[in-house]
């Protein structure tokens, strides 16, 4: 497979709109009053021991016929490097609270096998463990985020795992790591105490978890130059009690709560028992998907208001460390959560990223679920085959926004896209200035049928970038047709002092303004 052909734009288009055409929406950038830095970790990725997310998706082992380097499949590594993946979260998810780290170290043929009780009841061989994950993060140049086992583990087990990973001393655990092939400790920027403790992580109340967090955090000691940010397992959906409780622990910072997580998935129907299909869905589910994914804005505002009340000095981060679309499983093991990925998912991804940019002061990390072969994946594999999804292309197009400075954006006009009980703005926008002084803009058209005329106000003479769109609402890439949905070059020039462009239906545009 020629990887370059998978990511190269296959068509160039120049769309110039004359000044006589009325603009549906006007977009203005406030370059004089920049906002916060857009933390690169807003573009974080998640790899859980779930389905083919790790085994086959990333790890095939050194003896595999699939081309690999030290067991990691070459095509996937190359694709992820193109994304400039800033952060990797592992080993879960629900899997984390049944994961005992010592099962995943030492010679692979001697590691114990377990049962993955959360995801399909399959055998977990433990051939991908601490060394394999942290070495993989280094290979990608990504920060590591490790999720500790609070549900079935102990404070001692968690503390010893941290010592194994971070200590450069002559301790037994540090020497065990050396004996297993790693001399110097890894850098560990992030560590979470538990996951979804309101559900699969222990069915706890916020108050009970708060006491456990303080207990466990008291024993998590690392070298001064290798101390991870500690993340508390927070709420889900519209629940605010977790953020309220964890941000008001007294004294919160004595126990090193430095960030609180939150999870929210976009389910088209709003009903977990019948979520809706990834493909072949009616326009009603396109509209409901747009509406329900934009509910993220309300979730952010309400949680951030609590943090502003309880933490006016803004020391606490708010990490949406699981988000994305979740559909009914259409093929394979139901426990593997494999779903196709269409232009609808690309639009969903871009809408969320725009919201995260807007709240970048507090929202310093978000992690889409998941990276390969699971839920809203970047990459899908089938044995030796690999394809890039529309969501992958959105993340690749947005790399200029990593660590750029947010520029406030205002929209005027901007009619709504309506269908039945669902109504959303047709256009979503975000902008930023990168470290080289370049100004970038992203525009999203939520309307699946109609293009929109956009005018970018200001003294801009041109716009050059890429646009991702498709003819059908469920257009997607397959192993037989991997370039069905792929970005194309997009250019526009000002005419008579007006920079106007025609934004295609159901599209995502990322471009530099000049």
Measured distance CA(44)–CA(473) in Å, rounded = 26
Measured distance CA(418)–CA(403) in Å, rounded = 35
Nearest to 45 by CA among 511, 366, 459, 379: 366
For 146, the token pair is 């490790």
Contact 230, 217 (CB under 8 A): yes
Measured distance CA(413)–CA(500) in Å, rounded = 14
Active site annotation includes 132: no
Measured distance CA(433)–CA(63) in Å, rounded = 46
Output the DSSP codes for 39-105: -GGGGEEE--SSTTTTBTTTB--TT-SS-EETTEEHHHHHHHHHHT--EEEES-SGGGGG--GGGGS
Measured distance CA(136)–CA(129) in Å, rounded = 11
**The one catalytic residue among 124, 132, 322, 466:** 322
Active site annotation includes 331: no
The Cβ of residue 311 has, within 10 Å, a number of other Cβ atoms equal to 18
For 223, the token pair is 């070298």
**The one catalytic residue among 196, 285, 455, 466:** 196
Contact 356, 362 (CB under 8 A): no
Cα Rg of the chain (Å, integer): 23
* Positions marked catalytic: 196, 322
């Amino acid at each position: 497979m020629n990887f370059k052909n998978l990511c190269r734009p296959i068509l160039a288009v120049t769309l110039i709109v004359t000044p006589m055409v009325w603009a549906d929406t006007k977009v203005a950038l406030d370059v004089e009053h920049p906002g916060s830095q857009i933390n690169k970790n807003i573009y974080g990725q998640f790899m859980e021991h779930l389905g083919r997310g790790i085994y086959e998706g990333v790890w095939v082992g050194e003896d595999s016929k699939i081309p690999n380097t030290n067991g990691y499949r070459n095509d996937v590594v190359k694709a992820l490097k193109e994304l400039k993946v800033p952060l990797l979260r592992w080993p879960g998810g629900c899997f984390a609270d049944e994961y005992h780290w010592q099962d995943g170290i030492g010679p692979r043929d001697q590691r114990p096998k377990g049962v993955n009780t959360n995801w399909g009841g399959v055998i977990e061989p433990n051939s991908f463990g601490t060394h394999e994950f942290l070495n993989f993060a280094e290979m990608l140049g990504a920060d590591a985020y490790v999720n500790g086992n609070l549900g079935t583990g102990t404070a001692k087990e968690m503390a010893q795992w941290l010592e194994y990973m971070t200590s450069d001393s002559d301790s037994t655990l540090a020497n065990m790591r050396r004996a297993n092939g790693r001399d110097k400790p890894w850098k560990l920027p992030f560590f979470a105490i538990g996951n979804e403790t309101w559900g699969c992580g222990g069915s706890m109340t916020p108050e009970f978890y708060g006491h456990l967090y303080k207990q466990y955090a008291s024993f998590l000691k690392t070298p001064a130059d290798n101390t991870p940010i500690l993340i508390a397992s927070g709420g889900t959906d519209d629940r605010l009690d977790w953020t309220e409780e964890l941000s008001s622990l007294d004294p919160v910072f004595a126990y090193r709560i430095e960030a609180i997580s939150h999870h929210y998935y976009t389910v088209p129907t709003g009903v977990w028992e019948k979520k809706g299909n990834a493909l072949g869905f009616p326009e009603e589910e396109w509209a409901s998907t747009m509406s329900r994914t934009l509910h993220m804005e309300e979730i952010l505002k309400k949680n951030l208001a609590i943090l502003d009340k309880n933490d006016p000095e803004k020391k606490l981060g708010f990490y949406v460390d699981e988000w994305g679309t979740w559909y009914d499983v259409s093929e394979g093991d139901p426990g593997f959560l494999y779903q196709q990925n269409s232009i609808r998912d690309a639009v969903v991804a871009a809408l969320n990223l725009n919201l995260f940019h807007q709240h970048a002061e507090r929202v310093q990390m978000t992690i889409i679920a998941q990276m390969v072969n699971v839920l809203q994946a970047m990459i899908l594999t089938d044995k030796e085959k690999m394809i890039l999804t529309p969501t992958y292309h959105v993340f690749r197009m947005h790399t200029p926004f990593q660590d750029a400075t947010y520029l406030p954006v205002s929209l005027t006009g901007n009619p709504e896209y309506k269908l039945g009980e669902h109504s959303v703005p047709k256009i979503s926008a975000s902008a930023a200035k990168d470290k080289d002084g370049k100004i970038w803009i992203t525009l999203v058209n939520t309307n699946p049928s109609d293009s929109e005329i956009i005018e970018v106000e200001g003294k801009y003479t041109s716009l050059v970038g890429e646009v991702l769109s498709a003819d059908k609402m469920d257009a997607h890439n397959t192993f037989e047709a991997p370039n069905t949905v792929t970005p194309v070059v997009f250019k526009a020039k000002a005419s008579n002092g007006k920079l106007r462009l025609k934004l295609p239906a159901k599209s995502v545009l990322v471009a530099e303004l000049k």
